[in-house]
């Protein structure tokens, strides 16, 4: 069912940065899925999804500015900047019929990109994310995290963070995936981690634009997600006109790694609907 094209590691200059990405190419793709990782991870979290894409669908997993192999450029981070990087990347590669698949922060970036350039996109998968801006309480928590990272470093931050993003069962049963995320965090420098926390705290609310989304969307949530609530997922479903919600059991914040077979099944069924 799936093709055997190898994944290519590539880089491209876009504006003031070099964007690193993984490519599962197709000779004549009829759509392109761009995968956007969460904070503070990298494109490597999407291997299972890239490898599972059916024939005829090109897959690209990008490193957000300042993460993984992408450079930081001017060093000013915001969700708006990340979204404009994404749009410039799409334009530079001349991509059409683009479906965005964003998890957590990747969902924030996807929704902001849709606001900026709605005609660029053909579909959207929003995993363990929401459209709301941070509350004051959430902002203060991010500021406290910055102070902790500056004081104790990436290693201590990574150890604590993985406990929040994986379900209890995944922490025991998916050691390779846990280590992938832990190492992804450690590979990002302290400056980028702190700058991204500020970007997350300052992001705008995209709720008002949900009702204007004209194409079908897929919303995915891990049933044991500690960071995104079921109410937030339901709010997305209720406000997007054509949306399906898939909750994946025994998963936390990263169901694409915790239950890749179920995540991929939902993704592939959604992509078939778009055809």
Q: Can you identify the CATH homologous superfamily of domain 8-274?
A: Alpha/Beta hydrolase fold, catalytic domain (3.40.50.1820)
Q: Of 190, 197, 179, whose CA–CA distance to 139 is shortest?
A: 197
Helices 105-116, 79-93: axis angle to 10 degrees equals 70
Kindly give the confidence (pLDDT) of every residue in the chain, 275 residues in length, as a single tens digit, with 9 standing for 90 and above.
344 457 999 999 999 999 999 999 998 999 999 999 999 999 999 999 999 999 999 999 999 999 999 999 999 999 999 999 999 999 999 999 999 999 999 999 999 999 999 999 999 999 999 999 999 999 999 999 999 999 999 999 999 999 999 999 999 999 999 999 999 999 999 999 999 999 999 999 999 999 999 999 999 999 999 999 999 999 999 999 999 999 999 999 999 999 999 999 999 999 999 97
- The 8-class DSSP code of residue 2 comes to B
Locate tokens 């009702």: which residue? Answer: 211
φ/ψ of 242, rounded to 5, equals -115, 85
pTM value?
Answer: 0.96
User: Which of 196, 158, 188, 190 is closest to 67 using CA atoms?
Assistant: 188
Residue 5's pLDDT is what?
Answer: 53
CA distances from 138 to 31, 95, 134, 150 (A): 37, 36, 5, 19
In angstroms, the CA 65 to CA 24 distance is: 21
How many Å apart are CA 56 and CA 28, to the nearest integer?
Answer: 7
Residue-level pLDDT at 27:
87
Longest CA–CA separation in the chain, Å: 50
Q: Which two tokens stand for residue 181?
A: 């995320």
């Amino acid at each position: 069912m799936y093709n055997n094209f190898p994944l290519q590691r590539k880089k491209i200059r876009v504006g003031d940065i070099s964007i690193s990405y993984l490519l599962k190419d197709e000779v004549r793709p009829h759509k392109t899925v761009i995968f956007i990782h969460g904070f503070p991870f990298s494109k490597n979290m999407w291997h299972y999804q890239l490898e599972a894409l059916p024939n005829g669908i090109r897959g690209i997993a990008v490193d957000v500015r300042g993460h993984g192999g992408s450079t930081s450029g001017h060093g000013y981070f915001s969700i708006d900047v990340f979204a404009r990087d994404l749009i410039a990347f799409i334009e530079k590669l001349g991509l059409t019929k683009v479906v965005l698949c964003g998890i957590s922060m990747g969902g924030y970036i996807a929704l902001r990109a849709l606001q900026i350039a709605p005609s660029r996109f053909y579909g959207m998968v929003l995993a363990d994310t929401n459209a709301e801006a941070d509350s004051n309480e959430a902002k203060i928590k991010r500021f406290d995290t910055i102070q902790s990272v500056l004081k104790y470093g990436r290693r201590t931050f990574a150890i604590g963070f993985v406990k929040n993003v994986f379900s209890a069962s995944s922490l025991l049963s998916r050691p390779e995936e846990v280590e992938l995320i832990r190492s992804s965090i450690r590979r990002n420098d302290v400056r980028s981690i702190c700058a991204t926390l500020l970007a997350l705290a300052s992001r705008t609310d995209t709720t008002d634009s949900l009702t204007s989304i004209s194409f079908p969307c897929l919303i995915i949530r891990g049933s044991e997600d500690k960071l995104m609530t079921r109410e937030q997922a339901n709010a997305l479903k209720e406000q997007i006109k054509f949306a399906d919600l898939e909750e994946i059991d025994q998963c936390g914040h990263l169901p694409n790694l915790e239950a890749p077979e179920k995540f991929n099944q939902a993704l592939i069924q959604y992509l078939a609907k778009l055809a």
